[in-house]
Amino acid sequence: MMVSIGIPIYNADQYLRLAIDSVLKQTYYNFELLLVNDGSSDNSLEIMNSYDDPRIKIINDGVNKGLIYRLNEMINLSTGKYFARMDADDIMFPDRIEKQLELLLSNSEIDLVFGDAVSIDKENQVLGYKKSFAVNNKNDVLKGIYPIHPTVMAKREVLLNNPYKEGFIQMEDMELWYRLIEVNCFQNLNCPLLFYREDGSNNSRKHLKMIKGKLRFAETYKTGVISKMKLVSISYVKYIIYLILEKLEKEHILLNKRFQNLTPIEKVSFEKQLDLIKGGTV
């Protein structure tokens, strides 16, 4: 098996079928798809079980163990040389796996490949463009420059030897990239690989949780007093702002800052691509 694809799933029945379909319609087909149910209480498991495809492996223990545990579990259970992940509410571009695999196979020194994404809302409306940037060192990571997590494909061996660490709440990816960047080769494809669903709800709570994760990060990696204050203060300020905006029902103000605006022509083009995926034609 060349490629393993993992999707951690928790109460995602609203979007899950579209996510799975987008994987099964990839132009590259020699993969296994690991669907890991994290104790969902909705119809997610029923949706998983409705598929009859030998490439799909369902992992279900009926317990909610959290994202970090499930990410490591998927990697450990995978059998491919390369591991790609996405979230249960995202949608892959049809050629995502083919493009990433082609780059990894063309240069054995590359350990991890990532790319851009197109932001969509809860109703599958195209919102804007999420641009990714080259990551060169730990300072880039501290500045918030690192891969868009669900676009990543990496050598499985690298992820096996460097598992996600518990305790880095809402920032498990940042912590991983910080560990990997100066000993592994990252490569940015500079093209969109998936439709990324933006969630405008409960952001104040997420940033409050992130403060704990960033405190743990600063203490673990001895980033210094100034860096520690900067890491924590950013999340705290965002927590306060989101809390106020949520009270005023104006969360979209900050949500719109997560992506770049598209030209009308670009937006129509991405809308057509999304409609093709949704409609079953690629």
Output the average pLDDT for the chain: 91
Neighbours of 192 (CB within 10 A): 21
Distance CA(75)–CA(9), nearest Å, equals 15
Query: Mean of the pLDDT values across residues 102-128?
Result: 96
At residue 84, the pLDDT reads 98
pLDDT of residue 201: 57
**Taking the model in full, what pTM does it have?**
0.91
Query: Would you say how long the chain is, in residues?
Result: 282
Per-residue confidence band for 281, with pLDDT thresholds at 50, 70 and 90: very low
Average of per-residue pLDDT across 87-107: 97
Region 255-274: mean pLDDT is 91
CATH number for 3-198+259-279: choose from 3.90.550.10, 3.40.190.290, 3.40.50.1220, 3.30.910.20: 3.90.550.10
Mean pLDDT of the region 26-48: 97
**Listed range (172-186, 204-218, 262-276) with the worst mean pLDDT:** 204-218
Q: How far apart are CA 63 and CA 96, in angstroms?
A: 31
- State phi, psi for 215 to the nearest 5 degrees: -65, -45
Task: For the chain, give every domain's residue range.
Answer: 3-198+259-279, 203-256
pLDDT digits (tens, 9 = 90+) for 177-199: 999 999 999 999 999 999 999 87
| Residue 210 confidence (pLDDT) | 79
